[in-house]
Amino acid sequence: MKKSAIVLACLLWFTLSVNAQQARSDIKANVNLAASNYLAYPGPQKKLSPAPAGYEPFYISHYGRHGSRYTIGKDSYNIPYFTLLKADSLGKLTPRGKEVLFIIKQLRDMGLSREGELTLLGAQQHRDIARRMYERFPQVFNGNTHIDAKSTVVIRCILSMENALQQLLVYNPKLDIRHDASRHDMYYMNDEHNAYDKLRHDKLSKDSLKAFNARHSNSDHLMSVLFNDSEFVKSIDRGRFVSELFKQAKNLQSTDLRNKYSLWNIFSDDEIYNFWQMDNAGWYVYGGPNKLNKGAGMYTQLNLVKNIIETADTCIRLPHPGATLRYAHESDVMPLVCLLNLNGFGNPVDNLDDLAYKGWYGYKIFPMACNVQFVFYKNKRLATRKQMQNADILVKVLLNEDEATLPVKTNCAPYYHWKDVRAYLQQRMATAPAVQ
């Protein structure tokens, strides 16, 4: 027994070490991954499994984030720009600092008055997602089938939806499309300001994240790269400056300047990794299965999961229901993924320092244009409403267009029986903590 326990402990240690190194090596190989939720959508990474014999796709339920955007808020541009500009006027910038000022000015000129708006790349991301959806599941979009599309009331989400729909119409002009963006639907489309939103901002979670950030927020190397006077550095609000500068570095990949410039090279490898860790931890605390707040962030999406179930139950009774497409934000998609427990992202991690060891990497969940797709399959011989009533409907779930796993038993993975998935989702929702 002792020998077995030792072997098991060694295997566990090895697995954790590999996971931790995996994040570092991933970011080293593709530094854009350090952008976390600012990562430009990478697209699917794997081929899809063929459908079980005799089955074909007939309905898609989709929930996705808007595409790449400009950063939100004037401070995101103004704080790094005016800090660097002042330093330059006083002769406090290094040659590298002058280069960074030049790039930041261009980003600012491009982004001011466009804060939070969809970039050209963001529009293209959704056209590409829609194109692949059509190419992968053509049976869903045949004829004059119905497409029900909804967006939050935020313009970048509306434009993401419209770009996707326009692409679908290129392939099939006969589609019957209804699209809307109304506050009427925000109770499930973007229901962040409910009782669970208040619960996730508890003192224990805030203190835990604050302590974690304090252990990972050293930016001395960056300051020496940009400024030639340590006394001047003391005069600036380092925390805000570094935060907004790193945000520009992260989001540059979503702009038209992405093929001309980069800001990653002003940070050391350790700075990049530590800043990513802080981003990663922040999202986990407020949107993931954080034990300190009882996973409250996940449960902000209860109404969304109910809508997914109810809409699917209605649509799959039809021989050819088409698709339900929803466009929102990463602050909705990410907790949805955790609530569903796709790919194990809903499993709690006891300590924030263990996130990297446990394989909880936000860049695998919520890049720009991230999406969850439920793809439903029926037996090809079923053609009438009556035949669909008690049919064995299969479903597979795609996370960012790659097949994902659910903690649901199945005899045809990565496909699941809808009745089992439905029961699992209802059980998952029932675990929500009580709120006042």
- pLDDT for 264-273, tens place per residue? 999 999 999 9
For the segment 276-296, the average pLDDT, to the nearest whole number, is 96
More confident residue, 380 or 370: 370
In a domain, 425, yes or no: yes
| 99 contact partners, CB below 8 Å, separation of at least 6 | none
Please state, in angstroms and rounded to a whole number, the distance separating the CA atoms of residues 311 and 400: 21
Work out the mean pLDDT of the chain and round it to a whole number: 94
| Whether residue 36 is found in the same domain as residue 170 | yes
In a domain, 157, yes or no: yes
| Whether residue 137 is found in the same domain as residue 110 | no
- Kindly report the number of other CB atoms within 10 A of residue 256's CB atom: 12
Pair of tokens at residue 134: 């059509």
Domain extent, residue 260, equals 75-115+215-271
For the segment 301-314, the average pLDDT, to the nearest whole number, is 97
What's the confidence (pLDDT) of residue 318? 87
Please state, in angstroms and rounded to a whole number, the distance separating the CA atoms of residues 208 and 349: 13
Question: Of 223, 246, 271, which residue constitutes the final position of a domain?
Answer: 271
What's the confidence (pLDDT) of residue 331? 96
| Whether residue 267 is found in the same domain as residue 199 | no
| Whether residue 163 is found in the same domain as residue 266 | no
Please state, in angstroms and rounded to a whole number, the distance separating the CA atoms of residues 185 and 325: 13
What's the confidence (pLDDT) of residue 1? 46
Confidence of residue 326 (pLDDT cuts 50, 70, 90): very high
- Kindly report the number of other CB atoms within 10 A of residue 229's CB atom: 15
Question: Residues of 144-164 as b/e, b for ≥16 C-beta within 10 angstroms?
Answer: ebebbbbbbebebbbbbbbbb
| Whether residue 54 is found in the same domain as residue 141 | yes
Question: Using one digit for the tens of pLDDT, what is the confidence trace for 24-38?
Answer: 999 999 999 999 999
**Bridge pairing between strands 176-180 and 146-151:** parallel
In a domain, 12, yes or no: no
Cα-based distances in Å from 76 to 73, 105, 109: 6, 12, 12
For the segment 293-320, the average pLDDT, to the nearest whole number, is 95
| Whether residue 397 is found in the same domain as residue 334 | yes
Please state, in angstroms and rounded to a whole number, the distance separating the CA atoms of residues 416 and 434: 30
| Whether residue 50 is found in the same domain as residue 164 | yes
In a domain, 10, yes or no: no
| 373 contact partners, CB below 8 Å, separation of at least 6 | 60, 61, 62, 133, 397, 398, 401
In a domain, 399, yes or no: yes
Question: Using one digit for the tens of pLDDT, what is the confidence trace for 71-106?
Answer: 999 999 999 999 999 999 999 999 999 999 999 999
Residue 34 sits in a domain of what CATH number?
3.40.50.1240
In a domain, 15, yes or no: no
What's the confidence (pLDDT) of residue 16? 52
For the segment 195-211, the average pLDDT, to the nearest whole number, is 93
Do residues 71 and 248 make contact, with C-beta atoms less than 8 angstroms apart?
yes
- Kindly report the number of other CB atoms within 10 A of residue 217's CB atom: 16
Do residues 351 and 215 make contact, with C-beta atoms less than 8 angstroms apart?
no
Please state, in angstroms and rounded to a whole number, the distance separating the CA atoms of residues 223 and 246: 13
Please state, in angstroms and rounded to a whole number, the distance separating the CA atoms of residues 366 and 116: 17
What's the confidence (pLDDT) of residue 18? 58
In a domain, 4, yes or no: no
In a domain, 232, yes or no: yes
Burial of 19 (0-12, 13-18, 19+ CB in 10 A): middle
| Whether residue 316 is found in the same domain as residue 387 | yes
| Whether residue 84 is found in the same domain as residue 123 | no
| Whether residue 176 is found in the same domain as residue 295 | yes
| Whether residue 65 is found in the same domain as residue 99 | no
Domain count, the chain: 2
| Whether residue 313 is found in the same domain as residue 345 | yes
